[in-house]
Structure 1
């Protein structure tokens, strides 16, 4: 069966563009979800959060995190997923999924492992 990946991110994100290019260069079919045009489904976010923890999805170093004043606030784990569902600019991107395999952020080593026979 041919491999397919789903990539959640934005066109303005360098890491997302690099991920798209990584899979394209290897002729792997990608389904790109631009988070500026369409929010990730809560179930999708939950899948990543269950694997890595909601904290891992929150881009604490990002511009949007500071703009919202979140760097000076304590954000409880229980608030993170609803916040990410409302504001995709707070997500670490790209979120990449192939079947049950998931990654958060740029993870070339793991993707190469997915591709290896």
Structure 2
């Protein structure tokens, strides 16, 4: 397994995801989205694995203005605006090769090989 966890150090669910993999002895790479943003390729791969970029949007994000702007844009602009404003991501985003989840999903992770 090649696990990557995208999140922030203050996110409770990100901490739970890290603990899940540590307890099982599974190595992972933690990427703090406040320090290093997701690359365009990573963003596209994760979006594809989730069935679309819409799954990445956190409706409870603190940046209400940008969230409202995202809603107001036409569809073809929304994906780029979300990529530019990664503080709107729901975390943790856990990636294992071509598979990905968003949020705390231990039931899905147990089935990964």
> Is TM more than 0.5 here?
yes
Work out the CA distance in 2 between the residues paired with 1:55 and 1:83.
12
Determine if the alignment matches structure 1 residue 30 to structure 2 residue 41.
Answer: no
TM-score by length of 2: 0.86
Gaps of 5+ in 1: none
| 8 Å CA contact 2:45, 2:98 repeated in 1 | no
Report 1 or 2 for greater relative contact order, CA contacts < 8 Å, sequence distance ≥ 6. 2
Work out the CA distance in 2 between the residues paired with 1:68 and 1:4.
32
* Residue equivalent to 2:6: 8
Report the alpha carbon displacement of residue 104 of structure 1 after superposing the two structures with TM. 1.3
Deviations 1:35-71 (A, max 9, x none): 000000011111121232111111112222x243517
Determine if the alignment matches structure 1 residue 111 to structure 2 residue 112.
Answer: no
Work out the CA distance in 2 between the residues paired with 1:19 and 1:34.
13
* Residue equivalent to 2:62: 63
Gaps of 5+ in 2: none
Residues paired across the two proteins, number = 112
